[in-house]
Structure 1
């Protein structure tokens, strides 16, 4: 405290009022000589209440040295405040900013008393002392007023120029430089290995009407080639952020999430995806814009079941040690024809039990039952048991257009021993049954696994080094012997995300597929990319 402050204790009650009010002022509650925000000032103002008697303070006793001063302030000037719980908190530390703010508040009160009260209420000596103190603290008062005015101006500007009072606009733009490398495509033939430069842009509108709900509508335009088919001969080389609609703007998501009692519910009209709604146990690597560069490296294929159409997802106890999730998705729900729609067409019924005994460890046990009708002129809408992540045989174990039922079982885990290290992985098993054609009644078994490693803040804060290794979905057994995968493919991926700001990140990465299509006769294929992500 300065010498001037100690002199205050020898002055009249008016000056002492400035000191005690400063400790409870609604205008200054921040320490380390910083000015509080407008929101904080408003909140503290709500927490302080006027008192009419010093006896209302539970922590002020008649034996306290300040009791008489406080009593005088209450009875003579009426400018003393306390907290709702009936305390005064006279032992709080006092900063210069708090003192300046309290002095300013007391001056306003004194001016009011001068205008309305009798002449002997304030003495000439009181006014002289107050004037001297006001001059001494003029710099602090000016700083306080200036910074509060600046905050009010900035708040007014934000309110005047905000996108909407109920809707937030979020955007993401990806620019990707990518190419494939190797001797031949899987199955033979030349790789289409020219370097591409392509983009994907998303704009999301998120509205809330109660503060506990969210309406999302997202637009997308993209022209990023899928590295499959004629390009590499296998879908194992697909990028995690690919997609090509000719850069036409389309609505790719429309959903509404809300709380229903203890449950969290999300209803989706288009673009329903399990991995957007529940934990997929691959933190830092699950995002298409900032995570793994490959499709398989983002998360287990079990979370891709039923994607693309309408659906509903329900979660119980989403913040507890045990979380139970259930979902029903219908990928071709908008088609009213026979064999389509919500109840008569393709569907995925999904359930997951997540166990999180600590903040570091989480384990998930997952089951999905699916039906793929297999009759659609669009090849991409045909049977797809693996979400386009494994071999062509694993995708359609009984051939094109054969209706197939699948029972999918998965276990996933994530372990984060520190804030900078995460390890995890998944394993999955699928039993498939042919429901039509010559193969009707045939069974097939599929298996896949992966392990992941993420090092956060590697080299610089915000950066991420990621490594993923595993085996994409493979047909291990099939009643149709000619449709079993003969060997085993391995997926190896490494990436390094470099964050240059909160809005810009650049991620170089490489993907290696050994024995593509689970056939050791196929040459190793490499995929390299540099993904630049802009977000706001």
Structure 2
């Protein structure tokens, strides 16, 4: 059956069973569409809930169904025999039976003659639509590719207090207006696989912008964490390029020239900012940035996710390897390479058990010496010298050490959102090889985070979040000295969903001691009672298209 005939699904003689508005000049498209939405012809008059044996047309309708089998109803199981219609609708309903009629009677000839003009007009309209659809298909970007975008404006500032605050504020205390722009070219060849290429640019200038982590790395925002690349003076770069494909129903494989470890796992074991606002980079990583350190580069990975009924908890196992982007594409094995001793790579594994309401995961990451992102976020004392994981000692001798990071994360969410928030918890511990390290340098560190998120606050679709935790801080030093590296971070945000495509998220945060043990340097270096803190606020406006 041709397209125009498929669109005109209806019984041939409905016009005999209901009044016809003979003077109507417009086709009731909604009426025809509703009628056709049932998708199936009825086989018995008893299938209509509003047709009774006492109706005057009951026998005529019954004979029509049994003889021609081309009568359709509405999606709710009704026939609506007393509903008025236009002549165009009558023609459409008549047309539906033409392919089913095996015997052309005089009565049918009269009906076809009566609606000949309307049928010709309808056919012309549908033929025109077919031509326009064909032209669109011939000129569209791709039949398998979607182009999506995300634009984020960030207006905000930070202000330091305590020892050395005037020097910090002089360099980083100004209000800034930054942006981040991402374009996703998303392709699927089978409907289940995914080839993603992402273009990105921004103006979070590395070394000069507090929200890029300059001055103190803990002020870095999640939206600006690639500032060293994507935010380099508005240059457009490719910052994601990977292919993901399923094998069977439970296994998925990933291979990418530029891919990220945290995006190549089966489970994200937190509800804190999933679907809501993401503010500080540390809080966006569930407080366990030693494992989930966003290492990006040349990646291979796979995960297994147990197939269960919808709504049930399932097990998952994820493994991935990623060489740092400035190393994995170098041919010299003494300087880089893929899966060499100098890849500056991260090997991550995760075991999870989770569902819609609660879940938990254990994560592990091994980082080669000089691994690009290291523990990602922590005190300035811990961050020094590549998180104390440099490949050479003070004399320049090769010291291929490494870090081992472990994480436990869990979440719980109430069945009905209301006054009770979802709860997300994370705790991590990291160790670094002590070989070749100086006394007093950190060899063990920890971090933790507790995040609360309330859904549908004030208005449906709006979320409120609050988190408190301690970014990575030293808990043991080589030589047995006691570290004084403790610090806290507090974050509060509200996500206002203006439309489906626009959201505004005001947020404030406070860092109690982001320098950690180095805070003493703001006094006179003789003790650990120095005070230095940072308060910040931002307004993030996000556009999705």
When the two structures are superposed, what TM-score results if normalisation uses the length of structure 1? 0.73
Q: 2:338 aligns with which of 339, 342, 356?
A: 342
Distance 1:107 1:306, change over 3 A: closer
In 2, distance between residues paired with 1:458 and 1:146?
52
Residue-pair matches, total: 471
Alpha-carbon contact 1:330-1:342 (below 8 Å) kept: yes
Matching residue of 1:492? 490
In 1, distance between residues paired with 2:365 and 2:391?
21
In 2, distance between residues paired with 1:90 and 1:156?
30
SS where residue 356 of structure 2 aligns?
coil
In 1, distance between residues paired with 2:305 and 2:387?
37
In 1, distance between residues paired with 2:349 and 2:160?
40
Matching residue of 1:241? 223
Matching residue of 1:182? 160
Distance 1:199 1:150, change over 3 A: farther
Distance 1:479 1:146, change over 3 A: farther
Distance 1:127 1:240, change over 3 A: closer
Deviation string 1:319-355 (CA, Å, 9 cap, x unpaired) is 5411121111211311222152121122222221211
Matching residue of 1:363? 360
The alpha-carbon deviation at position 313 of structure 1 amounts to 2.5
SS where residue 94 of structure 2 aligns?
helix
In 1, distance between residues paired with 2:156 and 2:531?
22
Q: 1:387 aligns with which of 376, 391, 398?
A: 376
Deviation string 1:489-514 (CA, Å, 9 cap, x unpaired) is 00001111222222222221111001
In 2, distance between residues paired with 1:229 and 1:359?
33
The alpha-carbon deviation at position 533 of structure 1 amounts to 1.4
The alpha-carbon deviation at position 167 of structure 1 amounts to 0.9
Alpha-carbon contact 1:186-1:234 (below 8 Å) kept: no
Range with greater deviation from structure 2 (425-434 or 153-162): 153-162
**What is the 5 A alignment of 1:348-497?**
348-356=346-354, 358-373=355-370, 381=372, 384-393=373-382, 396-398=386-388, 401-402=391-392, 403-417=400-414, 418-419=416-417, 421-434=421-434, 437=436, 439=438, 444-481=443-480, 485-497=483-495
When the two structures are superposed, what TM-score results if normalisation uses the length of structure 2? 0.72
In 1, distance between residues paired with 2:194 and 2:161?
49
Alpha-carbon contact 1:391-1:472 (below 8 Å) kept: no
Matching residue of 1:256? 243
The alpha-carbon deviation at position 412 of structure 1 amounts to 0.8
In 1, distance between residues paired with 2:137 and 2:101?
39
Alpha-carbon contact 1:339-1:373 (below 8 Å) kept: no
In 2, distance between residues paired with 1:114 and 1:228?
76
Consecutive unaligned residues of structure 1, counting only runs of 5 or more, are 1-12, 21-32, 375-380
Distance 1:517 1:150, change over 3 A: farther
Q: 2:282 aligns with which of 286, 292, 296?
A: 296
The alpha-carbon deviation at position 16 of structure 1 amounts to 7.2
In 2, distance between residues paired with 1:105 and 1:361?
53
SS where residue 64 of structure 2 aligns?
helix
Consecutive unaligned residues of structure 2, counting only runs of 5 or more, are 1-10, 19-29, 309-313, 393-399, 518-528
Alpha-carbon contact 1:431-1:444 (below 8 Å) kept: yes
In 1, distance between residues paired with 2:76 and 2:277?
51
The alpha-carbon deviation at position 307 of structure 1 amounts to 0.9
The alpha-carbon deviation at position 210 of structure 1 amounts to 1.0
Matching residue of 2:516? 518
SS where residue 301 of structure 1 aligns?
coil
Deviation string 1:58-116 (CA, Å, 9 cap, x unpaired) is 999xxx969976774367xx421489xxxx99993224699969954553367789997
Distance 1:153 1:510, change over 3 A: farther
Distance 1:481 1:177, change over 3 A: farther
In 2, distance between residues paired with 1:372 and 1:336?
19
SS where residue 189 of structure 1 aligns?
helix
Distance 1:156 1:111, change over 3 A: closer
In 1, distance between residues paired with 2:410 and 2:76?
51
